[in-house]
Amino acid sequence: MEPLPPPLEQKRQEVARRLGRPVYVRRVRTTDGELRGRLRVEPGRVVIEYQVAEAGYFWHVPVIEELLDRAAAGQQSAELREPWAGDGEGPRER
């Protein structure tokens, strides 16, 4: 797990305390160009993955924030996709 910006790290720790399990945030590279990030709540842990963008861009920060918010609200899984993907309705939940 790579270091997160301090406010995001604090939020990750708060969600972990609230849920009583560790929250792992990790980068992934996929061939799915529409995937921005996904959330999976598993027994004993929460996994947040975000698609790696070009170096130097921080578009992943709001993706991680949204997935942390969803985990804190009790959502068990979600995929965030590019707005232009599919029907254009925004994030697709699973």
Q: Residue 26 above 50 pLDDT?
A: yes
Is pLDDT larger for residue 84 or for residue 8?
A: 8
**What is the dihedral angle through the alpha carbons of 3, 27, 92, 54, rounded to the nearest 10 degrees?**
100
What is the side-by-side order of every strand in the sheet holding 35-42?
Answer: 23-28, 45-51, 35-42, 77-81
93 CB-side CA count, 13 A: 7
Question: Could you tell me what percent of the chain has a pLDDT over 90?
Answer: 60
Domain ranges of the chain: 6-81
Q: What is the mean pLDDT of residues 17-38?
A: 92
Q: What is the pLDDT of residue 50?
A: 92
Is pLDDT larger for residue 89 or for residue 85?
A: 85
Q: What is the pLDDT of residue 32?
A: 85
Q: What is the pLDDT of residue 85?
A: 58
Residue of 65, 62, 93 lying closest to 79 (CA atoms): 93
